[in-house]
Chain A
Amino acid sequence: MIVFDKLRKLYGDFCALDGLDCTIPKGAMVGLIGPNGAGKTTSMRLLTTLITPTSGDVWVDGMSVSAQPHLVRRLIGYMPDTFGVYEAMTAAEYLDFYARCYDIPVATRPALINDLLGLVDLASKRDSLVMSLSRGMAQRLSLARALLHDPQVLVLDEPASGLDPRARIELRALLHELHDQGKTILISSHILSDLADLCTHLIILEQGKLVAYDTITALLSTQQSRRIIIQTLTPTPALYAVVTHFNYTISVDPQLPTRYIVQMNGDDAAQAQLLKACIEHNIPVQQFASEANTLERTFLQVTAGLN
Chain B
Amino acid sequence: MRREINPILIRELRGRMRTPRAFWLLVGFLTAVAGTALLVYAASYLSSDGQSSSNNTIGNTVFFTLIATAMAILTIMAPVIAAGSIAGERERQTFDLLLTSQLSAGTIIFGKILATLAYCGLLLSAMTPLIAMTFLMGGVDLGELFIMYAIICASVLLFTCCGIYWSTRANTPLTAIGFALATVLGFMFGLPLLAVTIPTIWAQFLNDTAVLDAVATIGLAAHPFIAMYLTDTAIRQQQIWTHVVNIKGFTITLPATWIICIIESWLISIAFIVAAMRHIWPMRTRS
Contact = CB atoms under 8 A, between A and B. Distances in A.
B102 A97 contact: no
Contact of A78 (B10, B15, B96): B96
Interface stretch (B118-126, B131-139, B278-286): B278-286
A37 to B, nearest CB: 20
A80 B99 CA distance: 12
Contact of B1 (A70, A93, A105): A105
Contact of A86 (B92, B96, B101): B92
A88 B283 contact: no
Contacts of A106: 2, 4
B92 A76 contact: no
A88 B18 contact: yes
Contacts of B201: none
A71 B89 CA distance: 24
B100 interface: yes
Nearest to A85: B92
Interface in A68-106: 68-71, 73-74, 76, 78, 80, 82-89, 93, 97-98, 100-103, 105-106
B94 A88 contact: no
Contacts of A88: 14-15, 18-19
A84 B94 contact: yes
A87 B19 contact: yes
A189 interface: no
A71 B287 contact: yes
Contacts of B94: 84-86
A52 interface: yes
Contacts of A73: 100-102
Given A100-B7, A102-B101, A103-B102, A69 B285 contact: yes
A80 B93 contact: yes
B99 A100 contact: no
- Which of B1, B283, B285, B286 gathers the greatest number of chain A CB atoms within 10 Å? B283
Grouping DSSP codes into helix (H, G, I), strand (E, B) and loop, the B interface class, with mixed when no group exceeds half, is: loop
A87 B283 contact: no
Interface string A103-142: 1011000000000000000000000000000000000000
A84 B92 CA distance: 5
Nearest to A71: B287
Nearest to B2: A106
A233 interface: no
Given A50-B100, A88-B19, A82 B93 contact: yes
B286 A70 contact: yes
B15 A89 contact: yes
Contact of B100 (A48, A67, A71): A48
Nearest to B107: A101
B93 to A, nearest CB: 4
B209 to A, nearest CB: 52
Contact of A100 (B10, B89, B92, B97): B10
A58 to B, nearest CB: 13
Contact of A97 (B1, B11, B286): B11
B103 interface: yes
B98 interface: yes
A101 B98 contact: yes
A9 interface: no
A42 interface: no
A86 B282 CA distance: 26
B102 A102 contact: yes
A49 interface: yes
A142 to B, nearest CB: 9
A69 B102 contact: no
B100 A51 contact: no
B97 A69 contact: no
Interface in B80-97: 89, 92-97
B18 to A, nearest CB: 4
Interface of B: 1-2, 4, 7, 10-11, 14-15, 18-19, 89, 92-103, 282-287
13 contacts: A51-B283, A69-B285, A73-B101, A80-B97, A83-B93, A85-B92, A86-B15, A87-B18, A87-B19, A89-B11, A89-B14, A98-B97, A149-B102
8 A-B pairs with the lowest CB-CB distances in the bound complex, closest first: A84-B94, A100-B7, A101-B101, A88-B18, A68-B287, A84-B93, A82-B93, A70-B286
